[in-house]
Amino acid sequence: MAMNYEHLMQLKSEGQRFSYTDRETMLYAIGIGLGRDPLDENELPFVFEREALKTVPTLATVLTRMSVLKDSGFDYSKVVHGEQRLSLHRPLPPQGELVASSRVTEAYDKGPGKGAVIYTETKVDSAGDGKPMFTLVSTTFARGDGGFGGPAGSGPAPHVLPDRRPDGSVTLETRKDQALLYRLNGDRNPLHADPALAKRVGFPAPILHGLCTYGTACRALLAEVAKYDHTRITGFDVRFSSPVYPGESIATDYWVDETVVSFRCRIPERGDAVVINNGRCQLAS
């Protein structure tokens, strides 16, 4: 089935229920690198339930698995994750019951041979009190589906980084087996595990999940800017620009302007190739 604009804009899923426990909370934290030093008292509360377990804000991206685009008609072999946005309406509890609804909000046709850009929004409430927990907005770039009859355009402009030297930078290592660990959060795409498949689609080796890179950037700012106070981060938006290979280091440069932290991520081992750009982290006032 070829992609069709009218059909695409009608895609939605409502009232799906999800649950998670402290197991998923700790597995996510370990999957993005927290707890590497088991004696680090700053990181231990994210991976050990000794006292009140803390939650990494970007845990929100793995708590629901909505398949609203499964019948979109685009070529899955040529799809990449373009952007991810997160708005937290309150801190995530370490376990909970959720109700989620998702829909396509925008779809732009860049023309034949140039691809399509599709925006989906997922709103998630607590099943307990019915109040909002978080909102996710994802951008899918369907490289093989331009010319489907949608409007021209590219969506909202990305966040602009300040025109000055970064206020700080932190470099975090990834493990060679990190994609195998992170995929246990729910994304079993074989591109992140199968060497033969990775080579067939043009990569020398399996790549790290984009959302693992996203979580690693959050881990960096959680430590450096929020001082491990997970309740301070209320928003986290990025634009993905290049893949990361497990075992590489991710350097996060950041700029602090009151409650807005701008950031980008680069790979020192590959000539500072930028892998996340136009990053915006919102802090609670």
In the annotation, is 187 catalytic? yes
Name 284's Cβ contacts closer than 8 Å, sequence gap at least 6.
Answer: 231, 232, 233, 234, 259
Answer for the pair 96, 155: CB distance below 8 angstroms, yes or no: no
Among the listed residues 192, 230, 237, 253, the single catalytic one is 192
In the annotation, is 145 catalytic? no
Instruction: Report the helix count and the strand count for the chain, using DSSP H and E.
Output: 6, 10
CA distances from 216 to 80, 111, 127, 264 (A): 19, 34, 29, 12
In eight-state DSSP terms, residue 242 is S
CA distances from 254 to 32, 97, 157, 277, 283 (A): 19, 34, 20, 11, 13
How is residue 42 written in tokens? 């700053």
- Residues identified as active-site: 187, 192
